[in-house]
Amino acid sequence: MNLNETTRVGLGVTQALRLRVSVASLVRLLYKNPGDGDWTLALERKATLNETVSGNVVKVKAQPFGGVVRIRDISALHELIGDFHFDSEASRSEGDFRIFIRPTTWRALRSVCIEHLSRERDSLLESDPRRELIEELYDALSITLNPTQYASKPIATIAEDFPSPSKNPRARGYQTVRIYRIYEGLIKDTNLALMLGKNSEGLSDQDLRDRALRDLELGGKGRANAILAMPLRTITDHYLGLSPDERNQPVLYEGHRLDETVPAVLEEITVPKYVRL
């Protein structure tokens, strides 16, 4: 991450810099079920503590693996789009692409992202989801993924042009537009595929809630992670059975809450708010 002394990149929303932009990678993580040979989609299942006036509530949702894109050269981005602010001190310290810009800058920034996300080894943006995938599988399975166990490739870039309120606790409620770089990850290791399926079947959402509360009692942040594995054809058919407007929102599938980003990684599903670039 490069930030020279002449660049002034601030922090937080201002009257001018009020449109938040989030750029992230999402992974369609697939494996062949060792039992029946069917392609299976693996999602990250997360239990997160939410503090309310009536007490602690643990919410569970499933979402594609992946995470925020990192800005490798902050000075270069500043030269391309002008002034911007990070949405939080944490984003600034990590170089996370979660920033506030002038609304009039969005189209130019969108073009910059499309260009640089398409490059395999880009000097401006780091979009490869390997780091996040390793961290998230470790959180769920307590294993360290190695390069021989999977293969990945970029397959699409999509944008959410119409702003909607952020749910990120660091910038909750701010109007946000989004860009996603979509990758396909194929698990090649049969033993790992078995572990993914076993974890999915062996832990209920309530188990995850209980684990998150135990984590809080032990001084943690009240979080727990697991896998949700579903036959790819079955989950695709589920979304095909929904109206386009329903696909814009989180949905329930066999009692599990699926994040609104799930259909973004499914090839056959069109979602009104997502534009393929």
User: What pLDDT digit, counting tens, does each position of 56-81 carry?
Assistant: 789 999 999 999 999 999 999 999 99
Average pLDDT over residues 203-209: 94
Structure tokens of 207? 């188990």
**Stated pTM of the model:** 0.92
In sign, the C-alpha dihedral spanning 89, 93, 96, 102 is: positive
| Cβ pair 27, 262 in contact under 8 A | no
Closest CA to 58 of 181, 239, 216: 216
For residues 187 and 147, what is the distance between their CA atoms, to the nearest angstrom?
Answer: 10
Q: What is the pLDDT of residue 7?
A: 46
63 and 46 in contact (C-beta within 8 Å)? yes
**Which residue bears the tokens 């942040």?**
221
Q: Is 255 a residue whose pLDDT tops 50?
A: yes
